[in-house]
Amino acid sequence: MSKTYRIAAVNGDGIGHEIVPLGLDVMQAAAGRFGFSLDVTHFPFGAGYYQQHGDFMPTDGLNTLKAFDAIYFGAVGLPAVDDTLPAKLYTFKVRTHFKQYVNYRPVKLLAGVDGPLRNKTQQDIDFVVIRENNEGEFVQNGKILYPDSPHGLATDTSVFTRKGIEQVAHYSFQLAQKRRGKVTNVTKSNTLINTLAYWDKVIAEVAEQYPDVAYTKMYVDAAAANFVLRPEVFDVVLTTNMIGDILSDLGGAIMGSLGYGPSGNINPEREFPSMFEPIHGSAPDIAGKGIANPIGQIWSGALLLEHIGEKGAADAIVQAINTVTASGLRTADVGGKAGTAEVAEAIIKALEA
């Protein structure tokens, strides 16, 4: 009997309603080819749900999601909803509750795509950004005092724990052992002399346990420059929550479009479901027009399948994506004329060939 996986699908908002169903179609095609089944349940969580119910998910939403093997998510946010709420009431809420302390973002140039970096090939742009996903600068630990007075002030306090640093560092070094054997710690400890100096200290201690992995430290300003000038020097980039958020979008840019970028919010111990989503936003300005690039969403589905143990299916999806990009088929945001569904259908056709 074939294995069945329970998948929670959350379209979210904007273009999520277009690209998540298409991504599921690709995943279902891969499941049929590789002999397993996906039992998908849809949930209407997001900013649209907030407009109707006053929250981004029901009070028992996390308990409901906990029962699934993985969560397949689009994007969240609408112009009419305060943009400080989506992270607080959905994205960060899921990531922290389910201990998804690894944010996994591949940066790889796809076949046939002319990225913005001249003379850089698929071999040059091929690394992974591992972003610590539960602590650091995004814990939202702070306060605004006397906001309308001349002496008003606001604080946000970063939080770094030994456990949090160690666990994401071990994940990164073990990933490097499976890749090209190099970890680059991107930091700013020369100015953040407490939090990031401690981050560096703990990572260096973990590095000693992996003598087969080359370990280097690089300040974020140098790393940003090298993403553009020398992307080939990177293999596994390990960094903090905020730095990783920024750098991984730069990674999407050097791939040619944020619309290509996938990501996984991963609980490596599998105590809780992991959540997979594209790196871009909900793009409400183009929602419903059928022109959004679905590749980041589809590639995120491949990461999901790899995480639950279906690596063959995951690799086949990535190969099909490359077949389609090599053919020149593109949506408008990357210089083409194809529609969202047309690209997804071409990927399914390549997958089944």
**DSSP string across 17-85:** HHHHHHHHHHHHHHHHHHTEEEEEEEE--SHHHHHHHSSSS-TTHHHHHHTSSEEEEEE---TTS-TTH
Helix 162-178 to helix 195-207 angle, to the nearest 10 degrees? 40
- For the question of residue 182 being annotated catalytic, the response is no
148 is catalytic: no
Annotated active-site residue 83? The verdict is no
* Residue 112: C-alpha distances to residues 115, 117, 180, 322 (Å): 9, 14, 24, 8
188, 215, 235, 260: the catalytic one is 188
Residues pairing with 156 in the sheet: 142
Query: What are the distances in angstroms from CA 199 to CA 71, 147, 301?
Result: 30, 32, 32
Q: Are strands 236-239 and 126-132 parallel, antiparallel or unpaired?
A: parallel
Exactly one of 55, 124, 126, 249 is catalytic; which is it?
249
Q: How open is the CA angle 225-228-229, to the nearest 5 degrees?
A: 80
Active-site residue, selected from the candidate residues 39, 88, 221, 311: 221
For the question of residue 39 being annotated catalytic, the response is no
Q: Which of 82, 83, 88, 146 is catalytic?
A: 146
Q: Is 221 labeled as catalytic in the residue annotation? A: yes
**For residues 256, 275, 100 and 293, what is the CA-based torsion angle, rounded to 10 degrees?**
10
Q: Check if the beta carbon of residue 266 is closer than 8 Å to that of residue 274.
A: yes
> Residue 129's beta-bridge partner residues?
105, 237
Alpha-carbon gap, residue 175 to 293, rounded angstroms? 29
Q: Locate tokens 């990164």: which residue?
A: 172
Catalytic residue ranges: 146, 188, 221, 245, 249
